[in-house]
Amino acid sequence: MTISTSRRRALAGLGALTILPGAHNAHAQAFPAKPIKLIVPHAAGGNSDAFGRILAQRLSDRIGQQVVVENRPGAGGTIASAFVARSAPDGYTLLVADNGTHAIAPTLYGSKLQYHVVKDFSPITLAAMFPTVLLVHAAVPARTAQEFVALAKAQPGKLTFSSAGTGNGSHLALELFRYAAGGLDMVHVPYKGGAPAIQALAAGEVQMTAVSVNTSLPHLKSGRVRALALQSSKRSPALPDLPTLAEGGINGAEADSWLAILGPAGIPADIVSKLNREIATTLALPDIKERLAQLGLEVVGSSVAQFQQLQERDVVKWGDAVKRSGAVVE
Low-confidence ranges of the chain (pLDDT < 70): 1-28
Q: Is the preceding peptide bond at 32 cis, omega within 30 degrees of 0?
A: yes
| Predicted local confidence at residue 75, as pLDDT | 93
Among the listed residues 318, 329, 320, the one whose alpha carbon sits nearest the alpha carbon of residue 103:
318
- Collapse the DSSP code of 159 into the 3-class scheme (helix H, G, I; strand E, B; otherwise coil) and give the result: coil
Contacts of the segment 194-199: beta carbons below 8 A, 24+ positions apart: 194/164, 194/168, 194/170, 197/162, 197/163, 197/164, 197/170, 198/135, 198/162, 198/225
| Predicted local confidence at residue 23, as pLDDT | 47
| Predicted local confidence at residue 294, as pLDDT | 87
The full set of domains in the chain, from first to last, is 34-130+256-325 (3.40.190.150), 132-248 (3.40.190.10)
What confidence tens digit (pLDDT) does each residue in 5-54 have? 544 444 444 344 344 445 445 566 789 999 999 999 999 988 899 999 99
The Cα 303–Cα 204 span in angstroms is 44
| Predicted local confidence at residue 302, as pLDDT | 86
| Predicted local confidence at residue 189, as pLDDT | 97
The Cα 283–Cα 301 span in angstroms is 7
